[in-house]
Amino acid sequence: MNASDHPPDPNAVSVTSLGSGSSGNALLVQTTAATILVDCGVGVRKMTSALAAAGKRLQDVDGVLLSHEHVDHNREAGRLQRAGALLISIPGTAAASNLPGELHLPLNRSQSVSFRGLEITGIQVAHDAAEPCGFFIRAGAVGI
C-alpha cells in the first residue's frame, strides 16, 4: 500500500502565503472541505498563479475573510465575489469596501460562524481602518 491509497486526512490543513506587504496581502487556507483566503489584496495574476500551483482556480475559492477595507487587503474581493466566493467580514469592512451585500456573511468580533467545516471567530485588532478584524480559524483539532 502506498500513500496514494490512503484517503485524505479530514483534519489536514494547508496554509500558504500568497503575498504580504504594501503590494498585497493574501493567505490561502485549504482543508478537505474548504478553500478560503484571508484577505485578497494581491493582484489577480499573482493570485491565479498561486492558486494554480495549489491545483485551484478562482472559482474554487469558497470564501474570503476580509480583515479591513484597505486595497492591499481587498483588491480582488469583487472579482472573487463574482466568481462565487462568500465574503466574510465585519459589517463596517464590507460597507467601507463598497461591496454588494449578496454573498456576504457578516461577522462580529468575538462571534463565531461556521463555514464549510471551519469555525471562524472574529478578533479585535488595532489598525487605521473602519472596523479592522483578525480571525481565529478552527478546522477540527487545528487552530490558525
Question: pLDDT tens digits for 54-93?
Answer: 899 999 999 999 998 888 899 999 999 999 999 999 888 8
Mean pLDDT of 13-17: 92
pLDDT surpasses 90 at 104: no
**All structural domains of the chain with their residue ranges:** 11-143
* Coil vs helix vs strand at 84: coil
DSSP E strands in 1-141: the ranges are 14-19, 26-30, 35-40, 63-65, 86-89, 104-106, 112-115, 118-124, 133-139
pTM of the model: 0.88
Report the pLDDT value the prediction gives residue 99, as an integer from 0 to 100. 76
Work out the mean pLDDT of the chain and round it to a whole number.
Answer: 88
pLDDT surpasses 80 at 129: no
Report the pLDDT value the prediction gives residue 35, as an integer from 0 to 100. 97
Superfamily assignment of 11-143 in CATH?
Answer: Ribonuclease Z/Hydroxyacylglutathione hydrolase-like (3.60.15.10)
pLDDT surpasses 70 at 42: yes
Report the pLDDT value the prediction gives residue 10, as an integer from 0 to 100. 63
CB atoms within 10 A of CB 45: 8
